[in-house]
Amino acid sequence: MIQDFGIIIACCFKDYHFAAGCCASIRYFLGDVPICLIVDGDFNTTSLESTYGVKIINQKTVKHPFLKENSFGWGLTKMIAFWESPWQNFLFLDADTIVWGDVLDFGDLEHYDMIIDHNLENWKAEDISRLFFDLEGMKKHFPDFNYQDRPYFVTGVFWGKRGIFSLAEYAEMLEFKNRYPDVFKYGEQGLLNFMIFRALDEGKINVKTALIQVLMWNYSQEEMRQRFPIEDGKIGNHDWQKEACVIHWAGIKPFLVNDVYSDPMNFMQQKFYEDSECLIYGNVKINLLLEDLWRYRPTRKFIKKLFWYLVKSPSSLFSNT
């Protein structure tokens, strides 16, 4: 049992219905583990607060003035966890994730300060430049940093401890990021990877890698359907503990109508509707579709997918399974 521990999820208005599915998956697989949402924006979160006892940190309640002014928005909101987590030890999750199985077994925070995903990719220089940081910029501004042979990871899932980074260092890095916006990629992703591995080099933290995250973009729909089956409105006959992990859609949003396999997220969103008793229209799929449409402005591509979804299986939208 991890002491002084909880799970932190960062979300904005657009991702709130995914965060609801994420919270439902925590309750489904992990029971009453404490949950905190770090919320970017001003919108109603009472459904998660009342249903799952979720704590809320937002721009009104964050304690440190620097974080209040500088660490909200895409790619920065999650960083608040390192200084204002309600618990000393935490698991951080992006909103577009769900827990699958008992992932608490990964959380060896007694011996490590961070546990990050052991990505199966062998990152090439072009991958690093695309996903993490501009290598020429790194060589120029951080010549002592060895960027090669590092287990860089997609930062939507990680275990961490409060206080392992200094706020002064973070402020310095944000100032650098604002001055040279093209060096670090994808919001905090390059920045956080750099801070982790620099601190590791300096002997300030201990870091472990583990296979904790499954990125949807790495697999076909059929592979994911076999690995994470949802059958007849429930989790399929499957040894889910053997597959314990966090499923992460990582930018490929798990809409009801999509090319990506989204059944696990949709199943957990349905669980949230059941637990909260806030099903507005009496049909789960209609509610999910309306949430997608409400929170994301429909593009022509989305409308086209919806059209073909209805043409191929018009009755499926009105079924709760």
The string of DSSP letters for 245-278 reads: EEEE-TTS---SSSSS--HHHHHHHHHHHHHHT-
Residue with tokens 């982790």: 196
Q: How far apart are CA 222 and CA 206, in angstroms?
A: 37
DSSP annotation of 111: T
In a domain, 107, yes or no: yes
Strand order in the sheet with 114-117: 55-57, 35-40, 5-12, 89-94, 157-161, 114-117, 207-210
Compute φ and ψ for 61, nearest 5 degrees.
-105, -15
* CA 102 to mean position of chain CA atoms: 17
In a domain, 97, yes or no: yes
Is residue 269 packed enough to be buried (19+ CB in 10 Å), middle (13-18) or exposed (0-12)? buried
268 HSE (CA, 13 A, CB side):
28
pLDDT tens for 228-248 read 999 888 887 666 667 899 999
* CA 61 to mean position of chain CA atoms: 22
In a domain, 298, yes or no: no
Total length of the chain? 321
CATH at residue 161: 3.90.550.10
- Give the per-residue pLDDT at 56: 98
In a domain, 42, yes or no: yes
DSSP structure string for 153-220:
--TTEEEEETTSS-HHHHHHHHHHHHHSTTTB-TTTHHHHHHHHHHHHHTTS--EEEE--EEEGGGS-
- Note whether 9 and 19 are within 8 A (CB): yes
pTM: 0.89
In a domain, 153, yes or no: yes
Query: 243: which 2 tokens?
Result: 């597959």
Other C-beta atoms within 10 Å of 243: how many?
13
Q: How far apart are CA 158 and CA 107, in angstroms?
A: 9
pLDDT tens for 123-164 read 888 889 989 999 999 999 999 999 888 999 999 999 999 999
- Give the per-residue pLDDT at 320: 53
- Note whether 261 and 216 are within 8 A (CB): yes
DSSP annotation of 299: P
| pLDDT, tens digit only, all 321 positions of the chain | 688 999 999 999 999 999 999 999 999 999 999 999 999 999 999 999 999 999 999 999 999 999 999 999 988 999 999 999 999 999 999 999 999 999 999 999 999 999 999 976 678 888 899 899 999 999 999 999 998 889 999 999 999 999 999 999 999 999 999 999 999 998 899 999 999 999 999 999 999 999 999 999 889 999 999 999 998 888 876 666 678 999 999 988 887 777 789 999 999 999 999 998 776 555 677 777 777 776 665 555 555 555 555 545 555 555 555
- Give the per-residue pLDDT at 242: 75
Cα distances (Å, whole numbers) of residue 307 to 43, 180, 252, 312: 31, 43, 19, 9
199: containing domain: 5-210
- Give the per-residue pLDDT at 122: 74
Type of residue at 44? N
Query: 121: which 2 tokens?
Result: 């990719």
In a domain, 315, yes or no: no
Pick from 84, 111, 74, 113: nearest CA to 195: 113
In a domain, 215, yes or no: no
In a domain, 314, yes or no: no
Q: How many structural domains compose the chain?
A: 1
- Give the per-residue pLDDT at 298: 58
- Give the per-residue pLDDT at 74: 85
Q: How far apart are CA 117 and CA 262, in angstroms?
A: 21
- Give the per-residue pLDDT at 311: 46
